[in-house]
Amino acid sequence: MEERQPYGSVTAKTLRDLAELVGPRNVSGDPEKLAAYSHDEVPSASLPEATLAQALVFPESTEHVSLVMAYADRHRIPVTPRGAGTGLSGGAVPACGGILLSFEKMNRILELDRENLTVTVEPGVVTAEINRAAAKHRLLYAGDPCSGDASFIGGNVAENAGGNKVIKYGATGAQVLGLEAVLADGSVTWFGGKRRKDVTGYDFVHLLAGSEGTLAVITKIILRLLPLPKHTTDLLAPFGSVEEALGFVPRIVIEAGLLPASVELLDRRAVEVAMRYLNAKLPEPDAAAHLLIQLEGNDPEVLADEVEKVGDLCLAHGARQVYVADNRTARDKLWKARKAVPEAIVAFHSRYAKEDVVVPTGSVPTLMVALEEVDRAWGVEHIAYGHVGDGNMHVTLLPPEGPEGPEKLREARHDLYRRVAALGGTLSGEHGIGLKRRDDTPLFLDEAQLALIRRVKAAFDPKGILNPRKIVPGN
């Protein structure tokens, strides 16, 4: 990276210049608005180097983004792209002030192409709108993050968001075929397109997906669509121990020969906190673990057979009962409980470390044993829930009471990270690194990789203006 000059300052003139470029209605320097847009779902006080944006820009087009980037490049002003603010890593929280690009005005579904099975969207479209638009044509957009009713697709792509269907369909990046992007100097280019295959040069599409706005600003997205499965059934299986529940998960593929759309785990504390928050009841709330398994198919009789097969297997592997939800109301009730867990934790606990670790699926049982050891070593407690089918556990550590609580929590997190690394796992499966986990990446990436990340960043963004200070120390 070229020698870093200090960033240019944002002044009243900058706001006037920006207003001239993109129109006054698309620029704000209002301190209340700046504060409202300068955070995501992570409390900013817990983030290293969190700052407030100094200018807000609401682009209406690729051309607007291009003009703003060219201006920022000339004046060396940092630019942070932001989606709906549902992020869980501080990825869209400015670390050096500057301009914040917010995409709510670029919110059009531009084209749904049934011949090519693609949908082309702007980054400010709410994710669930894409699911609905595809479903109207009996097609599936397979991205399904828990925050999908609010999140923007641009943020999903930037963070390579995961969600509940990754085991079958892959994370957001796996759905992306093409990206229009504005580079740091304001030039506009397309990576990928509607084609399903492409080995002409490096795979920039999947370098940008998950790059957290540090390499380019995404302005259009081409997503793949699939046929929409005609029928869906969810099974809820309470188990007497977490080990039994986890031991059962691989049997779905190995013994039943089926690939579910979702396999989610809720341990006892996760069920408890969600029930309390929703003032609702799940069956067998005292069970050590619940598995929520989703199966899909086109033929109702075949699906019913598969549901029975998986249900029988659950019972043979220690499930106390199996509850089958084959209508919308029953299914929604189960998913409401599952999706409420993170909000419920935040509602009832003032201090916690919400993690997003991922290990190879075969190592999840060892991870859970390691977690018990972490609890004992540091006096913490844990809540475990999440995407156990793909090895991505949202382990939430709760500190012990007393003044030493925060320090114990910090130690427990690092102990957990060391154990995750030893299992061949990593720091974040879907929430991203952002500011929240930036200083922990060296535990998981060696010097060669850290240096390569910084060189890739410098190649895309030689002046270091795109979402600076994110992902690895020194970026």
Q: What's the distance, CA 171 to chain centroid?
A: 9
Sign of the torsion formed by the C-alpha atoms of 416, 421, 425 and 427? positive
470: contact with ligand MLT by CB under 6 A: no
Question: What's the closest the beta carbon of residue 339 comes to ligand MLT, in angstroms?
Answer: 6
Type of residue numbered 149: D
Report the distance separating Cα 14 and Cα 428, nearest Å: 37
Pick 44 or 62: Cβ nearer ligand MLT: 44
Question: What's the closest the beta carbon of residue 456 comes to ligand MLT, in angstroms?
Answer: 26
Pick 146 or 209: Cβ nearer ligand MLT: 146
Question: What's the closest the beta carbon of residue 63 comes to ligand MLT, in angstroms?
Answer: 34
Span 124-153, contacts to ligand MLT by CB under 6 A: 146
Q: What's the distance, CA 90 to chain centroid?
A: 12
Pick 228 or 341: Cβ nearer ligand MLT: 341
Q: Which residue is nearest to ligand MLT (CB)?
A: 342
Pick 210 or 386: Cβ nearer ligand MLT: 386
Question: What's the closest the beta carbon of residue 89 comes to ligand MLT, in angstroms?
Answer: 11
- Show the beta-strand stretches assigned E in 123-230: 139-140, 176-182, 188-192, 217-224, 226-227
Contact between 162 and 171 (Cβ < 8 Å): yes
Per-residue HEC secondary structure of 17-82 comes to: HHHHHHCHHHEECCHHHHHHHCCCCCCHHHCCCCCCCCEEECCCCHHHHHHHHHHHHHHCCCEEEE
In angstroms, the Cα distances linking 191 to 114, 155, 180, 226, 362 are 21, 17, 6, 21, 35
Pick 284 or 356: Cβ nearer ligand MLT: 356
Backbone angles phi, psi at 455, to 5 degrees: -70, -40
394: contact with ligand MLT by CB under 6 A: yes
Pick 214 or 428: Cβ nearer ligand MLT: 428
Site string for ligand MLT, 35-74 (x = CB under 6 A): ----------------------------------------
Number of residues that bind ligand MLT (CB under 6 A): 6
Site string for ligand MLT, 362-391 (x = CB under 6 A): ------------------------x-----
Q: Residue 471: exposed, middle, or buried by beta-carbon count in 10 A (0-12, 13-18, 19+)?
A: buried
Taking 3-state DSSP, the helix, strand and coil percentages for the chain, each rounded to the nearest 5, stand at 40, 20, 40
342: contact with ligand MLT by CB under 6 A: yes
Site string for ligand MLT, 300-339 (x = CB under 6 A): ----------------------------------------
Question: What's the closest the beta carbon of residue 263 comes to ligand MLT, in angstroms?
Answer: 13
Tokens 């370098």 sit on residue: 207
Task: Provide the 10 A C-beta neighbour count for residue 440.
Answer: 16
Pick 44 or 51: Cβ nearer ligand MLT: 44
Pick 146 or 288: Cβ nearer ligand MLT: 146
Closest CA to 209 of 200, 221, 201: 221
Question: What's the closest the beta carbon of residue 146 comes to ligand MLT, in angstroms?
Answer: 4
Question: What's the closest the beta carbon of residue 221 comes to ligand MLT, in angstroms?
Answer: 21
Task: Provide the 10 A C-beta neighbour count for residue 327.
Answer: 9
Pick 385 or 444: Cβ nearer ligand MLT: 385
Question: What's the closest the beta carbon of residue 88 comes to ligand MLT, in angstroms?
Answer: 5
Rg (CA), the chain: 23
Residues of this chain that bind ligand MLT (CB under 6 A): 88, 146, 341-342, 386, 394
